[in-house]
Structures are given as structure tokens and as C-alpha cells.
Amino acid sequence: GAGVSQSPRYKVAKRGQDVALRCDPISGHVSLFWYQQALGQGPEFLTYFQNEAQLDKSGLPSDRFFAERPEGSVSTLKIQRTQQEDSAVYLCASSAGTEGPFSIYFGEGSWLTVV
């Protein structure tokens, strides 16, 4: 597709349930990022992939959060045993390069509400 695609757009999970959020980056984009955005705040970094390699996971808030990108294209962010504080928008972004002049494009986000 023309842009970064995320699914589901909206997810309501019961506390303790596992969720999986999918990201389809722009075709051919090497770099892929996951961010978490709370209401009224700027996005906060979670993790970064270069192709299939997860090079930075310093922003993942706990070991309940796990991300993968096995074939260097589609990525999945998994949250185990969800808690209310996990309620947020999860944004995926991709870019064509790793350094030098390039732009980073975001998807529309997956809105997670934990009840």
C-alpha cells in the first residue's frame, strides 16, 4: 500500500488478556519503529528494527511487551497479560534508510483500551 498500515485500529481488551498489534510498513522500508502515545502526550519510543534485526528495545516498558519482524517486513507488537496502564495508542513508523536524508512515516495507530 501507499502508507504504513496498522491493525486493528481499535482494540478493547479485558485485563489479563494478551493482544497482538500488526504493522505493515511501506514496501521496501528497512527501518521500522514502534511508539506508544498517551492522551495529550508526544509518542514515546518502544523499539526499533532494521530489517529483521531488533537493534533497540530500550523503550519496552516491561517483559510483557514483545515485538518481532521475522521476515523484515510485517511487524507484530504483542502485549501479554494486559493491564490498565497499557491503554494507549500504539504507533508504527517506517523509513527507507538508516542514515542520511530520509523521512519517517507513521501509521494511523492502534487504539488499545484495557478494561
Partner 1 sequence: EDQVTQSPEALRLQEGESSSLNCSYTVSGLRGLFWYRQDPGKGPEFLFTLYSAGEEKEKERLKATLTKKESFLHITAPKPEDSATYLCAVQAGAYKGTASKLTFGTGTRLQVTL
Q: By CB under 8 A, tell whether 84 contacts partner 1.
A: no
Binding residues among 26-55 for partner 1 as defined by CB under 8 A: 31, 33, 35, 40-45, 48, 50, 55
User: Nearest distance from residue 66's CB to partner 1, in Å?
Assistant: 18
The three-point CA angle 59-11-55 to 5° equals 25
Residue 59: CB atoms within 10 A of its CB come to: 15
Q: By CB under 8 A, tell whether 109 contacts partner 1.
A: yes
DSSP conformational letter for 108 = -
Q: Output 71 or 99, the one with its CB closest to partner 1.
A: 99
Instruction: Give me the helices (H) in the chain, please.
Output: none
